[in-house]
Amino acid sequence: MKSIVISLLAALILAGCNTNDTTTTSNDILPMPKDCRLNSGSFKAGKSTSVTIEAADEDKAILAECVAELTQQENGNKANSIVLRIAEKIDSISSPEGYKAEITDENITITATSGAGLFYGVQTLLQLADEEGRIPCGTITDEPEFAYRGLMLDVSRHFFDKEFVKKQIDAISHFKMNRLHLHLTDAAGWRIEIRKYPRLTEFAAWRSKQLWKDWWFGDRLYAEEGSESAFGGYYTQDDIREIVKYAQERYVTLIPEIEMPAHSEEVLTAYPELSCTHEPYKQADFCIGNEKTYEFLENVLTEVMELFPSEYIHIGGDEVGKASWPHCPLCQKRMKEEGLKDVNELQSYLIHRMEKFLNSKGRQIIGWDEILDGGLAPNATVMSWRGTEGGLAAVNSGHKAIMTPGGYCYLDSYQDAPHTQPMAFGPYMPLEKVYSYNPVEGLDEKKAKLIYGVQGNLWVEYIPTEEMVEYMIYPRILAIAEIGWRNPQERNYGEFCERAVNAVNGLLAKGYNAFDLKNEYGQRKEALSPTNNCAKGKEIYYAESSPYNEKYNAGGGKALIDGIHGGWTYTDLKWQGFIKGGVDVTIDLGEERNINAVHADFMQMCIPDVWMPAEVRISLSSDSIAFREVAVIEHDVVRDEGLSFKNYGWKTEKAEKARYIRYKATCGKQGGWLFTDEIEVECK
């Protein structure tokens, strides 16, 4: 089979994951094993190497396919052998995905309690092997920290075919990840064949514009399959069966997501009777009061379950507008009949009902953390994306949580200096930031056990091509893989980065369009060292009408004169944010000084509603009563793509005496956020 998990013979003889031509070390294993003790000797694999697989028939078939050419050597040289063996129990290993590898100059034995464990042991061998098939001798005892280690791929905003999905399964399984979550449905397109509802793929899978951004900010029309204006696609049921089988052969579980009750414009245009208004192009949320809604969802989920054998079915549940529910007669009738006090409980009613249906079929639900609203369904697992709060709320109530907070795990963010990168949706999130995440931080042992795992999410609003998808996934998904596998206390970014560079080299050699980590630009230069601000440590006063937002306080009242600049994103908590009244502060230098410059940086990122100020006024005073205006700076604020920075300031050759400085920045007519990191005052 052609994949990153190539036949063991070819891998051992031709190439490992790295490109070095010397014997490798544990620095080439990713994720890093729990315990790895290597020495200077090596096992040399070759065409005469004997391979024995002692496992259940199903596992043996999968492993034999991975090592197809080697399994023909059953009668090969027993003094040069590889043995894969299932055991009932292994000392020091509690996870069924764990394994123990014992490597001598003559033999390699990998022991595990499951086929998955043997598979992961083979991946370690592939990473250790040099170009001549030498594998260092030693003992490796290994198992994952978390049971769930996943990647979510959005195939709704832009569609990617089954071969591309299979290629990503090859890569993530090589790095011991075991879940691929497919975001199959959203407003931008329905991506799975449902035979009972043909309009989902005849119409709702196709839109009027190829690029999501052109469609979303344009007409938002859908199109008939086969028409000249139709852009999109979908997986047939046979495609899904093929992908599921392919994933199973790499011990990856596919988790389907069918969005409800929101993000469903495409469904409600194809089948408008399921909305509150019964009109196409009018609604994003299903009508919760309509019994036909449940008939539709149960029929869809029945076909989905026939295709996906996963224990979990993801039902979305996020960003529900609920705008029509308070005025919809059917929704109001449902609320009265069920004794529901508000629309949050109405949403919870649907989630509970869907859970009961899926539980009756032997399945469990996962939903985004909004499924907590109105009361969590009894057996639900929460996928926490709006920070960590949703996951913590879930475990505090005794539920499992999968941690995927946007500040660490959203791979649609810039991974390097924005001016060096293609368009991205979110702020700066380099590999180091992703790697710093600890899913169980602050939890006691009992609650930590309810953290089921971790997942990286790639939303593709601004990522329309296969090449760009891979560029955004790799290498940051490698950090997610290691977070899911390795104890947080044992992680070190410096040594991880070395292994990640080697892994990227291997991915590039195998045709993946990974970000070249060796040429990383890095952090914004202003953020690398403190600035010499003559206002540092002085007093600063905020106008009552213009307080900073506590969520983005950057450290408190003196953050704007602490000498510290922010980086490429406001989420680094070094930028102070203002959502009400703009910026209006007065700085007291304590005494009159000769001032020759006052300036501050602002950023703009329109997607999360962060804007440049439309006007900045800078004034000076000696007594805090009579201010003289020294600068009025006007700026035409326009929507753009990406992230930009602008300095607003005043500078003079002839210094002016003043003790007080007032800096006022106001929003344009679009409103939104203002973020600034430092008001610098230069004195002579």
The domain limits of the chain are: 8-142, 150-519, 525-683
The pLDDT value given to residue 133: 80
Catalytic residues: 186, 263, 319
The pLDDT value given to residue 651: 96
The pLDDT value given to residue 6: 36
- DSSP conformational letter for 371: G
The pLDDT value given to residue 25: 53
Q: Which CATH number fits domain 8-142: 3.40.50.620, 1.10.760.10, 3.30.379.10, 3.40.50.1100?
A: 3.30.379.10
Question: In the chain, which stretches have pLDDT less than 70?
Answer: 1-27, 67-77
Q: Which spans in 133-236 are helix H?
A: 162-174, 199-202, 212-216
Six-digit token string for 453: 């795992």
Q: What angle do CA 188, 394, 145 make, to 5 degrees?
A: 90
The pLDDT value given to residue 26: 64
CATH no., domain 525-683: 2.60.120.260
The pLDDT value given to residue 76: 53
Rounded Cα distance between 643 and 424, Å, is: 9
Judge whether 459 and 410 are in contact, CB under 8 Å. Answer: yes
Whose CA is closest to 380, among 388, 389, 395, 321? Answer: 395
Rounded Cα distance between 145 and 488, Å, is: 9
- pTM assigned to the model: 0.90
The pLDDT value given to residue 44: 86
Judge whether 624 and 577 are in contact, CB under 8 Å. Answer: no
Q: Is 452 left (phi over 0), alpha (psi -120 to 50) or beta?
A: alpha
The pLDDT value given to residue 289: 97
Six-digit token string for 207: 């839109």
Burial class (CB in 10 A: 0-12, 13-18, 19+), 615: middle
List beta partners, residue 541: 586
Unique residue bearing structure tokens 């544990």: 26
Q: How far is CA 397 from CA 40, 317, 385, 401, 514, in A?
A: 51, 19, 18, 11, 40
Give me the amino acid identity at 570: Y
The pLDDT value given to residue 406: 94
Decide yes or no: CATH 3.20.20.80 for domain 150-519: yes
Q: How far is CA 601 from CA 111, 426, 560, 567, 611, in A?
A: 58, 20, 11, 11, 12
CA 613 to chain centre: 31
